[in-house]
Copies of this chain bind each other. A is one copy, B any other.
């Protein structure tokens, strides 16, 4: 999850941890971000696994006067994706199982990197997500029908708002799916199957 997002961002350009976090917040839709307490251990793990490399400059290198345009980033650690990292990213990008659209933020990250994702994979993920949210909606509907009159006004209100939210998400996903389908018909003829690396 975090791994996916880090690989995706470093796939575009090398970055500091700090910058990574900011980009992550943007890409995640502005709401949820990630804490440094998660980010740095993840970077350490991924570095140990060979997925990313560090451009660690000599911390004692004296900058000569010919480098004023540097915006303040001195001897800090720059991370870059490795060949193994790109390979891993492509593996992850091609996954279409429940881990790609279940709850817990994975869907948001997957969507954020749809630019790197094949059209048929995009469609499968969107449809899987829609199935997930639809089943949540049905559960919520029946729960609301059962508990109506039996619970707190506030609990009821919470459930009502939740139901409307998942309802909106289903409609949103349906729009995205329709758009994908239309695009698939217009331009490219079929484009089935992910390119075999």
The answer to whether A30 and B112 touch (CB under 8 A), given A164-B168, A165-B165, A172-B161, is no
Q: What is the distance, in angstroms, from A115's C-beta to the closest C-beta of chain B? A: 5
CB proximity to B under 8 Å, residues A146-164: 147, 151-152, 154-155, 157-159, 161-164
Q: A29-B159, A111-B155 are in contact. List 6 more A-B contacts (CB 8 A).
A: A29-B140, A30-B136, A114-B154, A115-B154, A157-B176, A168-B168
Residue A77 CB within 8 A of the other chain: no
CB proximity to B under 8 Å, residues A104-156: 108, 111-112, 114-115, 136, 139-140, 143-144, 147, 151-152, 154-155
Q: What is the distance, in angstroms, from A113's C-beta to the closest C-beta of chain B? A: 8
14 sampled A-B residue pairs with Cβ under 8 A: A27-B155, A29-B140, A29-B162, A30-B136, A30-B139, A30-B144, A30-B162, A30-B163, A32-B103, A111-B154, A112-B152, A114-B152, A157-B176, A161-B169
Copies in the complex: 2
Residue A31 CB within 8 A of the other chain: yes
Contact B29 A158 (CB under 8 A): yes
Report Cα–Cα, A131/B115, bound state, in Å: 34
Query: Which residue of B is nearest A169, CB measured?
Result: B161
Among B27, B140, B168, point to the contact of A30 (Cβ < 8 A). B140
Question: For the side of the interface on A, what is the size category?
Answer: 35 or more
Interface membership of chain A positions 1-44, coded 1 if the CB is closer than 8 angstroms to chain B and 0 otherwise? 00000000000000000000000001101111000000000000
Residue A166 CB within 8 A of the other chain: yes
- When distances are taken between beta carbons in the complex, the residues of chain B under 8 Å from A32 are 103
